[in-house]
Chains A and B, each alone.
Chain A
Amino acid sequence: MIPLTFYLGLAALLFSIGLYGVMTNKNGIRMIMCIELMLNSANLNLVAFSSYTDTLNGQVFAIFSIALAAAEAAVGFAIFMAIYRMHDKINLDELNILRW
């Protein structure tokens, strides 16, 4: 059996990649992809823990969070769509009317 730490390490790595991507990317679609990566790394954690602690809460939680991630992406894309109609691109660096 693969040790638990391997799963945790993979999840932590994916989470860090996602967080790095959100902080450095300027394109809205890529940002949503990175956020999905962060959410899915948490799901990986939940399922791994669920299997190693012999409780089912984690798997149930993972199913809920997959559904929520889909809903979140839908709302996010709707907002980006509206921005795209107005600016013809989704470069988040150029949205800077509101500051200080």
Chain B
Amino acid sequence: MENLMFLAPELAVVATGLIVLLIGVFMSPQTKNMLGYLATLGVLAALALTIQSFGTEATMFFGTLSIDALSQFFKLVFLAVSLIVSLASIKYNENSDHTEEFYSLVLFATFGMMVVASANDLILLFCAFELASLATFALAGFEKRNARSLEGAMKYFIIGAISSALMLFGISYVYGATGTTSIPMIAENATLLAENPIGLVAVVLLIAGFGFKMALVPFHMWAPDAYQGSPSVVSSLLAAGSKKMGFVAAFRVFIVALAALQPDWQLAFTILAVVTMTFGNVVAVSQTSVKRMLAYSSLAQAGYIAMAFVVMTPMALTGGIFYTLAHAFMKAGAFIAAGAVVWMITSQKTGNLDIPDHLDSFRGLGKRMPLAALCMTVFVFALAGIPPTAGFMAKLVLFSSTIQAGMTWLAVIAILNSALSLFYYARLVRYMYFLPPEGKKIGMPFPYAAALLLAVAGVLAMGIWPEPFMQWAMDAAQVLI
């Protein structure tokens, strides 16, 4: 019998999900409020177990699951996002009749993402990918009487289902050419794949399949709609968690398994990275809905992270992996802050109720909700890459490694894009602090405040004291090379 202790974080998450679902059935809407705290505690326990197991290496279940520095790092990313989301959702689900469904879906999605991070076999990778996708499809359409939520969920579902079909078809070719589904075995037999013409078809299909999840242009169409339409806490999970799942799967499949086809996919990722960051930033400039603007800025950030596939030096991979954690804190926090504003507008019943996350809702937020405004400022400056935040450190490592590798042109494009992004981030800050408020001051609900402060703490800690995080990211990058 293998040591199940290696799986303790996953088991903690899935057990909490099941307990919440089971006991929630017998509770009244008022007592269900405690389920949020229970879920948060479960995630917190899983987070502690993950951090405590840093540095262990093991393979389990006939080599289908591997516990290594890469998987532990990404589990940290997913659990941190899940913690922030579950905390904020306590307020979102207040006195709702569907609290237990919401939390169990969030926890199962987190579980799926964690298994993707440690999957060492394409069968397991695909199943875990689907688990996380199915749970997030349902979450995106959680407000079933809200036309926007449903429309976002529908688009997300159709495109997500197409992407998993593309991925499955690509995987079937990889399996056919190499005769195995295990990632290390595919890497050993990769020459078979490189010689076979269907290897190239498989790479194209896999890039499309993972590209949809990572929301790289031109596979991004669902992302702005799904992020804008979904409840803010769910957008936060989608942008900060589900997108990283695409990245960790792509890291494992392309860099480890399909290393023999590197010239082919590297060219594709070069084009995708440049197009994605430019398109995301240019379109974000003209957005009036803040959640939609954050969605486009999230595309741009995915473009920066995709640079890791282009440069492929150990330092660049470290930067890319570090960036995923930094982005998880910044983006999760920014969507929660937008969620707090949406809550303020809908509970006050004043302002633009049709598009509660409109830029006008942020007028004078510095006076109406000082904490939300301050946190939002930290997040957008971090997204733009201003010191001393996580975004600055991440960009510093990623861009300088790009220059070191001799790809100055790519670094120049990325830096110009960061400068452009500062425009729309600064506009949001201007709305929050330099325009007069359109209403009275509102008390900040505790769950939102706690989630925001947690994310701010993450962003600042990674910016001011990056050494431990950088060391973890470096260990994770070692697994890939």
Contacts and interface: CB of A to CB of B under 8 A. Distances in A.
Nearest to B143: A82
Contacts of B23: none
A60 B224 CA distance: 36
A79 B127 contact: no
A78 interface: yes
Contacts of B122: 61
A42 B151 CA distance: 28
Nearest to B176: A49
Interface string B165-190: 11011011101100111000000000
B169 A41 contact: yes
B130 A45 contact: no
B169 A95 contact: no
A83 interface: yes
A64 B127 CA distance: 7
Nearest to B225: A98
A57 B123 contact: yes
Interface string A11-55: 100010011001000001001100100110110011011001101
Interface string B139-172: 0010011011011111101100110111011011
B176 A38 contact: no
Interface residues of B, number: 43
B154 A83 contact: yes
Contacts of A53: 176, 179
B181 A61 contact: yes
A53 B162 CA distance: 28
B138 interface: yes
Contacts, number: 125
B120 to A, nearest CB: 13
Q: Which of B172, B179, B180, B228 has the most CB of A within 10 A?
A: B172
Contacts of B172: 11, 42, 45-46, 49, 58, 61
B229 interface: yes
B37 interface: no
Contact of A45 (B162, B164, B176, B228): B176
Contacts of B134: 71-72, 75
B165 A42 contact: yes
B137 interface: yes
Contacts of A83: 150-151, 154
B158 A64 contact: no
B221 to A, nearest CB: 11
Contact of A65 (B126, B144, B283, B286): B126
A26 to B, nearest CB: 11
A68 B165 CA distance: 11
A28 B154 contact: yes
B123 A97 contact: no
Contacts of A55: 179-180
17 contacts: A19-B162, A31-B158, A35-B161, A39-B164, A49-B179, A61-B171, A72-B164, A76-B158, A78-B141, A79-B157, A80-B154, A82-B150, A83-B154, A86-B147, A92-B154, A95-B151, A97-B147
By Cβ-Cβ distance, the 4 closest A-B pairs, closest first, are A38-B165, A49-B176, A45-B172, A42-B168
Interface of B: 122-123, 126-127, 130, 134, 137-138, 141, 144-145, 147-148, 150-155, 157-158, 161-162, 164-166, 168-169, 171-173, 175-176, 179-181, 224-225, 228-229, 283, 286-287
